[in-house]
Amino acid sequence: MYRLVRDEQRVSEIVTTEEPDYAFHIKSEVERHSEFPEMLVIHVTAEDEEYFEKPSAHLKALHITTLQDGFPDRDYFHLFDVESRDTCDAYYVIYDNKQKIRNVLGTEHLFGDPEAYLVIEDIRVDEECRGLGLALRLIREAMQVFGYWPSTMSILKAYPVDDESNDPTFDDIRSLANYYMSDKNLGFKEIDPINELGWLVALGDAPYYLTEEEAFFSGKPKGKSSG
């Protein structure tokens, strides 16, 4: 069962699961950055107030518009640098791998380089709620609401973390990257699986109301998941 409510400020959806009997509300909130109003700060959460006191999953992303010819140059570095090391790293990955990204996404044969970027900075899923596809569902929400149309490129790093802040192994990163790429609705591709391990990019697509509803709201790839 799905109930979807959308307005200008908030997106709220109820997603039910079979076992255990959770019913997650998927909520999106967006605000302009306090220092740079041309940048949007996006938070997407999954909550089940009946079972849990706090959101069970959380995603944070930045929407950065450049509207320039070509990938972001040094004039846009401050927008990527202002929030965290992760978004700063995303800038350098884009800057250092422009042609690889073009080749992976095929943009040279379509319309040219992206004019906006959805930088997915952080995804967290509580341990007791992993394996339900919540991470993929939150990414789909962020990309379909804020990262749609082919002029927008989404970028994230598959980098699993645990409660003890242990560094992930090569296999951990490889597994999470494969998990994100397994969802056909997201369309993520690897920039360079050796030199840029874990970094994935995807082009925007049609917005949610033009997609196949079942695939968007409940599509879940086969196999073990971590989110």
Lookup: tokens for 9: 């400020």
Q: Which of 169, 225, 216 is nearest to 197 (CA)?
A: 169
In this prediction, residue 182 carries a pLDDT of 93
Q: For position 180, what pLDDT does the model report? A: 95
Of residues 133, 60, 69, 53, the one with CA closest to residue 90:
60
Query: Of how many residues is the chain composed?
Result: 227
Could you read off the pLDDT tens digit of each residue along the chain, which spans 227 residues?
233 334 434 445 555 555 566 778 888 899 999 888 888 999 999 988 777 777 889 999 999 988 776 788 888 888 888 878 888 999 999 999 999 999 998 865 555 788 889 999 999 998 888 888 899 999 999 988 887 777 889 999 999 877 666 788 999 999 999 999 999 889 999 999 999 999 999 988 766 555 555 544 444 444 434 46
**Residue partners of 205: CB distance under 8 A and separation at least 6:** 144, 148, 149, 150, 187, 211
Report the C-alpha gap between 104 and 112 in whole angstroms: 13
Q: What's the pLDDT at 71?
A: 82
Q: What is d(CA 208, CA 110) in angstroms, rounded to the nearest whole number? A: 22
pLDDT value at residue 110:
55
Q: What's the CA gap between 64 and 49, in Å, rounded?
A: 32
Distance CA 106, CA 203 (A): 10
pLDDT value at residue 208 = 54
Q: Look at residue 42 in the predicted model and tell me its pLDDT.
A: 93
Residue 77 and residue 1: Cα distance in Å, rounded?
Answer: 43
Instruction: At 162, give phi and psi (nearest 5°).
Output: -120, 175
DSSP symbols for 103-121: HHHTGGGTT-S-SEEEEEE
At 169, is the secondary structure helix, strand, or coil?
Answer: coil
Residue type, 85: R
pTM score: 0.79
The angle subtended at Cα 124 by Cα 59 and Cα 185, nearest 5°, is 55
User: What are the sequence ranges of the domains in the chain?
Assistant: 2-205+212-218
Q: Give me 14's structure tokens.
A: 């109820």
Report how many helices (DSSP H) and strands (DSSP E) the chain contains, helices first: 6, 9
What's the burial of 202, exposed, middle or buried (CB within 10 Å: 0-12/13-18/19+)?
buried
Tell me the CATH architecture of domain 2-205+212-218. Answer: 3-Layer(aba) Sandwich (3.40)
